[in-house]
Structure 1
Amino acid sequence: MSTSLAARETKEFQGRIIDGVDDVTPTVIAAMAQASNVRVREIGEAFVRHMHAFAREVKLTEAEYDIGIDFLNRIGQATNDHHNEGILFADAVGFSTLVCLMNNGNYGATETAAALLGPFWRMNSPRTEAGGSIVRSPTPGAELFVSCQIKDAKGAPIEGVEVDVWQSSPVGLYENQDDTQADMNLRGKFMTDAQGRFGFRSVRPAGYPVPTDGPVGDMLRAQNRHPYRPAHIHFLGFKQGFKTLITQIFVDEDKYLETDAVFGVTRHLVGNYQRHDSGTPPAAGVTAPWYTLEYTFVMEAGEAKLPIPPIK
């Protein structure tokens, strides 16, 4: 809606008493059009129009309305320093992936390495030396050696990118979900070298169910959907002058690649986690099988901005 049109509707509907169903939406929009910020007006109007149209389309009953309000309240009540049910809900309805793809890769016209942040990123993961291990407490599982490179859109390596890495354990739990893991286990922060490279040692991640003890779990059960995510490792690349890269690299053999509960898998993000049953391992004391992963990321020029951590 243009500013002039919003102003006209504000004048027309200001102080109006609602006479029926058809009066509700334009009256609300007119009230919200008083916002001085153009973007606030635009988002507010669109939200009201679509939300009201949704209620009309499904002929929402009062009982269903009450269930929906209770669902939203429970999302807030289930969110705390260690769990973000709001982001989990946005993920589970594909909203996070939609917003991510709309804002990366030229509005979906090209492949992008971007992916949803997810609900488990923590801000202050420990700095780790190049090639170092992010295993910080006993974590049984096949060892994994990761070697990555970050380039710009023209193919030149980017030095000095701060790369945050986090993953679940082989039993499918992040350390903040599991009292048996040390704080910051399977999390680390690295810097790319002059060739744009960084690497680390870990264990092969496992797929896992998203938390289902809250309202999102109730939704998945009502829709007869499984709660599983395919195995993956999260990466966040940050450097001034470049758009912050948030992504995940998925295990190529995982059975849930096509049915990810949060719709986060794109073809570009399926990695080659190569299994090795023989040969010389990359480090002493490693027994077969072990795995290697090589991947090249591309960062776009733009604003370097860290997301708001979903948990502390």
Structure 2
Amino acid sequence: MLPSTPESLTPIVVQSMANTSDARIKELLCSLVRHLHAFVLETRLTEAEFEYALDYVNAIGQATCDTKNEAVLVADLLGVSSLVALLNNADHHGESDAALLGPFWRANSPSLEPGASLAAPGTPGIPLEGSGLVQDREGRPLAGVTVDIWHASPSGLYENQDETQPDMNLRGRFTTDENGRFRFRSVRPAGYPVPVDGPGGVLLRAQERHEFRPAHLHFMFSKPGYKVLITQVYADDSEFLHSDPTFGVTRRLVGQYRVEPRPGGDVAVFDHCFTLLEGEMVFPHPPIP
């Protein structure tokens, strides 16, 4: 078969994959071709626009480095990351809502004792006393769960973005006790802008959207026999809850960060309950080293 019209090309390309032995690869690629071709036909994509799109894809790879993953960021800004997380963790009567891994998670953060601080000495900010309960679907506490926590500084930067912060600052791993509880200390995170110096920023400016994420803590829970839960908990008083540029906020991921007056000054107190589901313990690939 040879194409004679724009519309006649799509079935020819799909047919070329007929001998693909892996059924899932065949399904994904055939669907990708159909949707891409449909997009081109629907929008009547021009050659200049096509060239620009290819340059944009190349720029995503060129902008990815040791301190950020631009491909993850663009997927976040288009809502794809949140869509995949919701699709693959859709159990609204069981597991806690999953959320974005984000482009700044690092594997092998330091293991810390219960109640230890994520913040290196001298890290500025309102002190934060955090705690949580991890349970199974039946509400039974889960002991021995590894709780990986990371967050941005009050200035809105993760340590690998900020030369003034020591390595692995505001990152750490804890283990739940026999009651399924964990405790940690840190400084209260602030909302921050996603990086806009690369293709992600080009996308936001073209759409005339702001770049500010609501303040949040990142969590990753893991225990053999249970699905790894990647989630975030957002501050209930953040002004950007309803306009998160990465579409990561769901109702169940909004937590309370109450402020308590103490003799030495105000302290933010945080506590949250998390639910894990049985399944295979599979960790994500770190977006940065």
TM-score category by the smaller chain?
Answer: over 0.9
1:255 corresponds to which letter in structure 2?
E
Structure 2 residues not aligned, in runs of 5+: none
- Measured after TM superposition, the shift of residue 181 of structure 1 is 0.2
Q: How far apart, in 1, do the equivalents of 2:187 and 2:243 lie?
A: 24
Q: Which residue of structure 1 aligns with residue 58 of structure 2?
A: 73
Q: 1:237 to 1:111 in 2, by over 3 A?
A: closer
Partner SS state of residue 105, structure 1: coil
Does the CA-based 8 Å contact 2:219-2:230 persist in structure 1? yes
Does the CA-based 8 Å contact 1:163-1:190 persist in structure 2? yes
Matched, 1:160 2:144: yes
Matched, 1:119 2:103: yes
Q: How far apart, in 2, do the equivalents of 1:57 and 1:254 lie?
A: 39
Residue 132 of structure 2: which of 148, 152, 156 is its match?
Answer: 148
Matched, 1:82 2:67: yes
Does the CA-based 8 Å contact 2:127-2:268 persist in structure 1? yes
**Greater Cα offset, 75-84 or 254-263:** 75-84
RMSD: 1.3
Residue 242 of structure 1: which of 202, 218, 226 is its match?
Answer: 226
Matched, 1:58 2:35: no
* % identical aligned pairs: 51
Residue 201 of structure 2: which of 206, 217, 220 is its match?
Answer: 217
Q: Which residue of structure 1 aligns with residue 184 of structure 2?
A: 200
- Structure showing greater Rg: 1
Q: How far apart, in 1, do the equivalents of 2:49 and 2:274 lie?
A: 45
Does the CA-based 8 Å contact 1:137-1:185 persist in structure 2? no
Q: Which residue of structure 1 aligns with residue 9 of structure 2?
A: 24
Structure 1 residues not aligned, in runs of 5+: 1-15, 281-286
Q: Which runs of 4+ in 1 moved over 6 A?
A: 108-111
TM-score (norm 2): 0.97
- Measured after TM superposition, the shift of residue 309 of structure 1 is 0.3
Q: How far apart, in 1, do the equivalents of 2:121 and 2:155 lie?
A: 14
Deviations 1:114-152 (A, max 9, x none): 111000000010000001001124211100000101000
1:76 corresponds to which letter in structure 2?
G
Partner SS state of residue 124, structure 2: coil
Q: How far apart, in 1, do the equivalents of 2:93 and 2:197 lie?
A: 37
Q: Which residues of 2 match residues 281-300 of structure 1 at below 5 A?
A: 287-300=264-277
Does the CA-based 8 Å contact 1:33-1:45 persist in structure 2? no
Does the CA-based 8 Å contact 1:172-1:205 persist in structure 2? yes
Q: How far apart, in 1, do the equivalents of 2:8 and 2:288 lie?
A: 42
- Measured after TM superposition, the shift of residue 112 of structure 1 is 3.6
Q: How far apart, in 1, do the equivalents of 2:96 and 2:122 lie?
A: 35
- Measured after TM superposition, the shift of residue 35 of structure 1 is 1.0
Deviations 1:87-137 (A, max 9, x none): 00000010000110011133x687842111000000010000001001124
Matched, 1:188 2:172: yes
Does the CA-based 8 Å contact 2:109-2:171 persist in structure 1? yes
Partner SS state of residue 194, structure 1: coil
Q: 1:158 to 1:265 in 2, by over 3 A?
A: same
Matched, 1:93 2:70: no
Partner SS state of residue 274, structure 1: strand
2:9 corresponds to which letter in structure 1?
V
Q: Which residue of structure 1 aligns with residue 19 of structure 2?
A: 34
Partner SS state of residue 264, structure 1: coil
Q: How far apart, in 2, do the equivalents of 1:115 and 1:304 lie?
A: 17
Q: How far apart, in 2, do the equivalents of 1:115 and 1:87 lie?
A: 13
- Measured after TM superposition, the shift of residue 32 of structure 1 is 1.9
- Measured after TM superposition, the shift of residue 227 of structure 1 is 0.5
1:100 corresponds to which letter in structure 2?
A
Q: How far apart, in 1, do the equivalents of 2:169 and 2:133 lie?
A: 23
Q: How far apart, in 2, do the equivalents of 1:74 and 1:33 lie?
A: 33
Does the CA-based 8 Å contact 1:137-1:181 persist in structure 2? no
Q: How far apart, in 2, do the equivalents of 1:67 and 1:137 lie?
A: 47
Does the CA-based 8 Å contact 2:86-2:97 persist in structure 1? no
Q: How far apart, in 1, do the equivalents of 2:134 and 2:275 lie?
A: 6
Partner SS state of residue 272, structure 2: strand
